[in-house]
Amino acid sequence: MSELVTGEAVALELRPAKLPSRALAVLIDLIVAVLVYIAVVIGLVAATSSLDDAAQAAMSVAAFLLVLVGGPIAVETLSHGRSLGKLAFGLRVVRDDGGPVRFRHALVRGGVGMIEILMTFGVVACIASLVSERGRRLGDVFAGTLVVRERIPVGRAGVVPPPAPELAGRFAELDLSGVPDGLWLAVRQYLTRMHQLQPQVSWSMASRLAADVAARTGASVPPDLQAQPAVFLAAVVHERQSRQARQRPRYEGGGDHAVASVSPPAVAPVSEKNVRPPEHPQSRSTGFAPPA
């Protein structure tokens, strides 16, 4: 397990992907890329049958570079680190600081990957991943990236405390589609660990996360919750979970298709008492009085 250290010196968990899942994800991506390459080559051969052999060879090399090198770079850039294989195994490429990858990261990974994966049949990439503490291949080392697992097993996921009862359903009309999965993960990790943090650090982190979520939804934090950002985060996460539960198919009744409901352990709801804004140092009474 790796850790992302925030500006407040608080470590958030990053779970590096294991070599088997990464290898299978790369295998799926290569199969798709090879099929696309074969289709492109067949089309080029039919379209350039009147050209000489040298021109056809040049077109084949260009198609190879475009599909097997440029294709993964484009997919990784546009999907922010999730190719088809990584999507199937719940993996994502992120920066060392946990942020989404950009074009330059994908370009370095794709360029180095052509050597360590395509030209060496993945031998160099496997050796580098086994030697690296976080399972990074050479492309990740040079690009400053890391492949992480986005799907956290249910048994290991912390229980997010519920919001205050009066906030249930308050954000039913809020558009949550623009909030990325990485931000949801950061919010969940904060809510499960906020009682372990110092009050000032906890309030500062909650304020930043609430501002990020509000910016992605297009609606500002309600005035009555601006001093309680953790309460706002808990209510928004609860709303997202409620929507996912409504979309998930349910089977009622007995039989082989019955789904047993498992109640999560009881957790105290997030309230104003759990997270308080930092107090001004001068507002605290020390009990000291100067001599008369």
From first to last of its 292 residues, what are the pLDDT tens digits of the chain? 444 444 443 445 567 888 999 999 999 999 999 999 999 888 888 887 777 888 888 888 888 889 988 999 999 999 888 899 999 998 989 888 777 788 999 999 999 999 999 899 999 999 999 998 888 999 999 999 989 887 655 444 455 666 767 777 778 888 888 888 778 878 887 887 777 777 887 888 888 888 888 888 888 888 888 888 888 888 888 888 888 888 765 544 444 444 444 344 444 455 545 455 555 444 444 444 455 4
Q: Cα-flanking dihedrals φ and ψ of residue 5, to 5°?
A: -100, 120
Beta strand pairing call for 11-14 and 91-95: unpaired
Q: Cα-flanking dihedrals φ and ψ of residue 285, to 5°?
A: -90, 125
Terminal Cα-to-Cα distance of the chain (whole angstroms):
60
What are the residues whose beta carbons fall under 8 Å from the beta carbon of 249, sequence distance 6 or more? none
Give the number of other CB atoms < 10 A from CB of residue 246.
8
CA–CA separation, 79 and 86 (whole Å): 11
